[in-house]
Chains A and B, each alone.
Chain A
Amino acid sequence: MSTKKEAMSENQINLGEFLTKNSMTIALVIVFVLFYFLTGGRLLYAQNMSNLLLQNGYVLVMACGMLLCILTGGNIDLSVGSVICMVGGMAAVMITNRGISTYVTIPVCILVGLLAGIWQGYWIGYVRIPPFITTLGGMFIFRGIGRLILDSKTVSVQDAAFLNIFTAYIKIPGLDTDARILSPLVVGIVVVILIFYSTISSRANKAKKGYRQNSALSDFGRSVLISAVLLFYCYLLCQYKGISVMLVWVVVVCLIYHFITSKTAFGRYFYAVGGNEKASQLSGINTNRVYFIAYANMGLLAGLCGLLCLARVGSVNGATGTSFEMDAIGSCFIGGASAYGGSGRVSGVIIGALLLGVINMGMSIMGIGDSWQYVVKGGVLLVAVIFDVVSNRKSGK
C-alpha cells in the first residue's frame, strides 16, 4: 500500500518536473491550438505556416545573438534595430543608387554590422561601460547614420541576384516542377532519419559506458514527436512554393548557435560568466573578452538581419527595424533565458520566438489590430518571466 503511494508521488514529481521543464513548449502548443480554432483553421494553411518562419526569421537570427548577451548577466543590446536600419540602408543604397555588385555589397554590409558590434563590445568589455547605456547610445548613433545614408528617403531593391540569395525558393531539378514540389519532403525524411540515427547511437553509447539514461519511451517518444511535426511542416511547404533560401539561412544560424552554446568551450564561458563572473575570472577565463565577443557577435548578426529584412520587405526607410530588438529580447526571456544571466538555450529561444510569432499571426488573421497585439505580447512576456522567477524560487535556487 505504502509503496504504491510512494510510486505515485514519484510519478507526480516527474509530471511536475516535466511540466516545468517543457512549460514553454506546452504553452506554444496551447496557444497554437487556441488560435487554430479562433481563426477557424486558417492558421494552419500552408501559406501561413510557411510565412510564420519567414516573417520571424530575422527575430530568430537576432535572438541567437541576443541570447549570448543575456547569458553574460542579463545584459541586452538595444541597438540591434538601428544596426538593421543602417546596414539595410547601406545595402539598398549600394545596390540601387550606386549599382555596386551584390557580391561585394553583402560581405561589406555584414562587415559594417560587425564593426558596429566591435565598437560597442570594446566599450562594454574592456572599458566596462554598462551595456544598457552603451547600446542606448548605439541605438541613436546607428539610427542616425542609417538615416544619413538613406538621406531620409525610402530606397527599394529590385536586383535579382540580391533577392535570390535571400528570398528565392529552392527548386531541385528532378524533384520540383511547377506542378508539384517534393524537395521539402525529401529533406524532411533525411532529417528524420538523422534524428533517429543520433538517438539510437547516443543510447547505445550510453549503454556501453553504463551511464544513466532516460527511458526508451521518453527518448523515442521525443524523436517521434519532433519527426511528426517536422514531416507535417515539410508536407505543408510542399503545398506552398517549397523551401525558401531565407529558411535555410535561419536554420543554419540557429544550428550554429545551438552547437556553440551547448558543445564548445567557448560557448560554455558565456554561462560561466553569467553564473559567477568573479569565479570565472579566477578560473582563468578572460571575462572582458567574453563580453566583447557577445556584443561584437550581436553586431554581426544584426548586420545579417539588415540584409534579410531588406530582401524580405524589398525596401528600407529611416524607421526600418524600430523596436526589433525588443522582439529578440522578448523571445529570449519567454524562451527561458534567465534575466540574471547564466541560463538559457537556443532551443528555448526558438520556442519563444515562435510563440510570439504565432500570437502575431493568429491575431492578424483574426483582424485584430496592432494595439491589441502589443498588449497580448507584453502580457505573455511578463507571465513567462514571472513563471520562471517563481518556479526557481520554489525549487530553492
Chain B
Amino acid sequence: MGDIILEMKSITKEFPGVKALDNVNLVVERGEIHALIGENGAGKSTLMNVLSGTYPAGTYSGEIYYNGELCQFKTLKDSESKGIVIIHQELALIPLLTIGENMFLGNEKRNKFGNIDWDLTYNEAEKHMRQVGLNESAQNLIKDIGTGKQQLVEIAKAFSKDVKLLILDEPTSSLNDEDAKMLLDLLIEFKKNGLTSIIITHKLNEIIYCADKATIIRDGSTIETLVKGVDEFSEDRIIKGMVGRPMDDRYPSRAHKVRGEVSLEVKNWTVHHPLYHEKIVDNNVSFKVHKGEVIGFSGLQGAGRTELAMSIFGKSYGTGISGEIYLNGKKVDLKNPQQAIRSGLAYVTEDRKMNGLILGESIRFNTTLARLEKVCTRGVIDTTAEINVAEEMSKAMGTKTPSIEQKTGNLSGGNQQKALLGKWMFTEPEILILDEPTRGIDVGAKYDIYCLINQMVEDGKSIIMISSEMPELIGMCDRIYIMNEGELRGELDAKEATQEKIMSYIISATD
C-alpha cells in the first residue's frame, strides 16, 4: 500500500426519510487522480460535502482520516485550512467582481491598516493564475471571461488556499471538449508535482483518460474500486458497475394497451436559452406519444429534457422557440401555461418546492390553483365544492395528512409529491408530463405513483416521463427517447432497452 492521504471509513449520512450514504468507504493515495462515479443521486456529492465539512461532523456517522489523523470538520473553513478544497459543479464566482477579488473573497489580502492591499491581491492572483496557465489580467471581471477560464480561476483560487487535496465536482460539464481536455491535462500535470485530486464526472472517457483509480457508488453504497493497470479499466466495465443492480419487481405491471391514435406530436422543436439567446438548449427535437402510452426521456442532467417539457408547456421556458405541436392531429400554438392547461396538458415539475407547490398554503389551496374556475361561480369560490374536491384528490392520491388544511410545506417529500400530482390531476389532463416524479421520495410512495401512472394510461391518457433513474424508465415506459446535449440521440422500445444500451447511447454522444 502506498502513502494514504485520505481514508473515509463507514460513512453513513441520513436525510429525513432518505439514507443518502450507507456505510461508504473511500481510500485515496497521495498523488493520484481518483474518480468517483455513480448515477445522479447515488451520493457522490453528498460524500464530498461530508468530507469538506459542508455537512458538519456529528450530522453523519463514520470516520475521516486525513494524513493519518482523525478529522472532524465543522465548516468548510476547517477543511480548507488542511488543504482540502472542493470546487462545485455550479461555479461559486461572482460575475461582477474581478478575478482577483473573487480569488481572495472572504480571505482578503490586508495591509497593516486592515484595508485591502490591492497591489498584493492582484499580484498574488496573477501568480496563481500563471500556475494554471491562465494569461489574463487579474483585474478582468469574471463575467467577461468564458466558462473554461472561469473553471481555471476556481482552480487558481484553490492554489491560493495552498491545496493538497483537490475535489472537482463535474468540472467539465459546462466546458466544450477542447477546454475539458486542457483541464484534464492540467490535472495530470499537477499530479506530477504531488497534488492529489478527486474528480466526480459522468463522462467515462475522461476517467479512462486521466484517472488512476475509480470508485463506484450506487444507491449510497460503495460498490467497488477499480485500479488502472490491475483491474479491467474500460467504459464497459465501469458501466456494469454503475448500473448492475438487480431488477426486482419494483414496478407494477399493466396490460399493454397502447392505442393507435397519436395524442401529442412535436416536430422540429428548437429552444434557445432564456438569457444567452445564442445558446441552443433543445435542437430540432421531434417525438410523439400515443393514447394509453407512457414514453420516457432519459439523459444526464442538462441534456435539455426539462427545458423541452417546459417549453412545450405554454412556452414556460426559453426564447426563440420554433417547431410545431400537434394535439390529436391538430396543430396548436400554446402561448402560455394557461392555454396549455386548457388544451389538456399538465406539467408536474421536478422541483416541487420551487416551481410546484405554494408551501405556505394548504393542500386545499394548492389542489385547485391550476384550474380554480372549476370550483367558481362567476369568479366567487364555492368553498364547499373546493373542500370536496381537495378531499377527493387527497384520497385518490393516498396523501397522508391530518387534514386538507395542512400547509404543504409541513408534508414529507412523498406526500408533497402526491399533493402536487393531485393538483394536476384536478386539471383533468389528457397528456401528463412528469418530470422526475419519484425524486427524493421513499419506495412505498414511488410504488403508489407508478400505480397512478398505470391507472391514467388505462383510461387512455398519455404520459411523458422524464427520469434520471434508468430502471424506472425501463420498468414503466413503452418507449424511451434518449437525449444528450439538447439533441435526441436515440429511441428504444422498452422491451429491448437495457441500462447498458441507454448508457452507451449517452456516452457515445459525449465523445
Contact B316 A264 (CB under 8 A): no
Contact A268 B356 (CB under 8 A): no
Instruction: Determine if B144 is an interface residue (Cβ-Cβ < 8 Å).
Output: no
What's the minimum C-beta distance from A397 to chain B, rounded to whole angstroms? 7
Contact B358 A272 (CB under 8 A): yes
Residues of A close to B384: CB separation below 8 A: 205, 209
Residues of B close to A272: CB separation below 8 A: 358, 361, 365, 369
Partner of A342, one of B354, B358, B370: B358
Known contacts A263-B380, A264-B379, A265-B379; A284/B341 CB under 8 A:
yes
Residues of A close to B383: CB separation below 8 A: 263
Contact A284 B358 (CB under 8 A): no
Known contacts A278-B354, A281-B316, A284-B338; A342/B360 CB under 8 A:
yes
| Contacts A268-B365, A275-B359, A284-B314 known; 16 new A-B pairs at CB < 8 A | A211-B387, A264-B376, A264-B379, A268-B381, A271-B361, A272-B358, A272-B361, A272-B365, A279-B349, A282-B337, A282-B347, A283-B337, A284-B370, A342-B360, A397-B407, A397-B409
| A360 and B68 alpha carbons, distance in the complex (Å) | 70
A residues 185-229 with Cβ under 8 Å of B?
205, 209, 211-212
| A266 and B378 alpha carbons, distance in the complex (Å) | 11
Residues of B close to A278: CB separation below 8 A: 354-355
Binary contact track B50-69/A, C-beta < 8 Å → 1, others 0: 00000000000000000000
Contact A280 B313 (CB under 8 A): no
What's the minimum C-beta distance from A73 to chain B, rounded to whole angstroms? 12
Instruction: Determine if A20 is an interface residue (Cβ-Cβ < 8 Å).
Output: no
| A342 and B407 alpha carbons, distance in the complex (Å) | 13
Binary contact track B385-415/A, C-beta < 8 Å → 1, others 0: 0010000000000000001000101100000
What's the minimum C-beta distance from B349 to chain A, rounded to whole angstroms? 6
| A374 and B189 alpha carbons, distance in the complex (Å) | 68
What's the minimum C-beta distance from A289 to chain B, rounded to whole angstroms? 11
Contact A282 B338 (CB under 8 A): no
What's the minimum C-beta distance from A72 to chain B, rounded to whole angstroms? 13
What's the minimum C-beta distance from B312 to chain A, rounded to whole angstroms? 13
B residues 313-358 with Cβ under 8 Å of A?
313-314, 316, 336-338, 340-342, 347, 349, 354-358
| A245 and B102 alpha carbons, distance in the complex (Å) | 63
Instruction: Determine if A156 is an interface residue (Cβ-Cβ < 8 Å).
Output: no
Instruction: Determine if A286 is an interface residue (Cβ-Cβ < 8 Å).
Output: yes
Residues of A close to B365: CB separation below 8 A: 268, 271-272
| A281 and B409 alpha carbons, distance in the complex (Å) | 19
| A264 and B361 alpha carbons, distance in the complex (Å) | 16
Known contacts A275-B358, A397-B360; A284/B337 CB under 8 A:
yes
Contact B379 A266 (CB under 8 A): yes
| A286 and B316 alpha carbons, distance in the complex (Å) | 12
A residues 239-291 with Cβ under 8 Å of B?
263-266, 268, 271-272, 275-276, 278-286
Instruction: Determine if A343 is an interface residue (Cβ-Cβ < 8 Å).
Output: yes
Contact B381 A264 (CB under 8 A): yes
Interface bracket on B: 35 or more
Contact A279 B381 (CB under 8 A): no
* B interface residue numbers (CB < 8 A to A): 313-314, 316, 336-338, 340-342, 347, 349, 354-361, 365, 369-373, 376, 379-381, 383-384, 387, 403, 407, 409-410, 423
B347, B361, B376, B387 — which one has the most chain A CB atoms within 10 A of its CB? B361
| A263 and B369 alpha carbons, distance in the complex (Å) | 14
Residues of A close to B349: CB separation below 8 A: 279, 282
Binary contact track A66-106/B, C-beta < 8 Å → 1, others 0: 00000000000000000000000000000000000000000
A-B contact pairs, 9 of them (CB 8 A): A205-B384, A265-B379, A276-B357, A279-B354, A282-B316, A284-B314, A285-B338, A342-B360, A397-B409
| A342 and B372 alpha carbons, distance in the complex (Å) | 17
Interface bracket on A: 20 to 34
Contact B336 A284 (CB under 8 A): yes
Contact A276 B313 (CB under 8 A): no
Contact B361 A275 (CB under 8 A): yes
Contact A280 B358 (CB under 8 A): yes
What's the minimum C-beta distance from A340 to chain B, rounded to whole angstroms? 9
Chain B, residue nearest A341 (CB): B360
What's the minimum C-beta distance from A21 to chain B, rounded to whole angstroms? 14
Partner of A286, one of B336, B342, B403: B336
A-B contacts, CB under 8 A, total? 83
Residues of A close to B403: CB separation below 8 A: 212
Contact B358 A279 (CB under 8 A): yes
Binary contact track A115-131/B, C-beta < 8 Å → 1, others 0: 00000000000000000
| A280 and B369 alpha carbons, distance in the complex (Å) | 8
Partner of B381, one of A265, A275, A286, A397: A265
Contact B360 A282 (CB under 8 A): no
Chain A, residue nearest B349 (CB): A282
Residues of B close to A396: CB separation below 8 A: 410
Residues of A close to B338: CB separation below 8 A: 284-286
Residues of A close to B361: CB separation below 8 A: 271-272, 275, 342
Partner of A279, one of B314, B355, B372: B355
What's the minimum C-beta distance from A31 to chain B, rounded to whole angstroms? 29
Chain B, residue nearest A267 (CB): B381
Residues of A close to B342: CB separation below 8 A: 284
Chain A, residue nearest B369 (CB): A283
| A209 and B386 alpha carbons, distance in the complex (Å) | 13
Contact A283 B373 (CB under 8 A): no
What's the minimum C-beta distance from A394 to chain B, rounded to whole angstroms? 14
Partner of B373, one of A265, A276, A342, A397: A265
Known contacts A284-B336, A397-B409; A276/B358 CB under 8 A:
yes
Contact A265 B355 (CB under 8 A): no
Residues of B close to A264: CB separation below 8 A: 376, 379-381
Residues of B close to A284: CB separation below 8 A: 314, 336-338, 340-342, 370-371
Known contacts A264-B380, A281-B316, A397-B409; A276/B359 CB under 8 A:
yes
What's the minimum C-beta distance from A265 to chain B, rounded to whole angstroms? 4
| A285 and B340 alpha carbons, distance in the complex (Å) | 12
Chain B, residue nearest A206 (CB): B384
Residues of B close to A271: CB separation below 8 A: 358, 361, 365
| A265 and B354 alpha carbons, distance in the complex (Å) | 22
| A280 and B373 alpha carbons, distance in the complex (Å) | 15
| A278 and B316 alpha carbons, distance in the complex (Å) | 10
What's the minimum C-beta distance from B30 to chain A, rounded to whole angstroms? 45
Chain B, residue nearest A338 (CB): B360
Chain A, residue nearest B407 (CB): A397
| A39 and B380 alpha carbons, distance in the complex (Å) | 45
Residues of B close to A275: CB separation below 8 A: 358-361
| A362 and B365 alpha carbons, distance in the complex (Å) | 41
Contact A268 B372 (CB under 8 A): yes
| A268 and B376 alpha carbons, distance in the complex (Å) | 12
A-B complex: 3 closest residue pairs judged by Cβ atoms = A275-B358, A284-B338, A283-B370
| A280 and B358 alpha carbons, distance in the complex (Å) | 8
What's the minimum C-beta distance from A134 to chain B, rounded to whole angstroms? 23
| A282 and B355 alpha carbons, distance in the complex (Å) | 7
| A284 and B427 alpha carbons, distance in the complex (Å) | 11
Residues of B close to A266: CB separation below 8 A: 379
B314, B340, B379, B409 — which one has the most chain A CB atoms within 10 A of its CB? B379
What's the minimum C-beta distance from A219 to chain B, rounded to whole angstroms? 16
Chain A, residue nearest B342 (CB): A284
Residues of B close to A280: CB separation below 8 A: 358, 369
| A211 and B340 alpha carbons, distance in the complex (Å) | 35
| A396 and B370 alpha carbons, distance in the complex (Å) | 27
Contact B360 A279 (CB under 8 A): no
Chain A, residue nearest B383 (CB): A263
Residues of A close to B380: CB separation below 8 A: 263-265
| A394 and B128 alpha carbons, distance in the complex (Å) | 47
Binary contact track A365-397/B, C-beta < 8 Å → 1, others 0: 000000000000000000000000000000011
What's the minimum C-beta distance from B489 to chain A, rounded to whole angstroms? 28
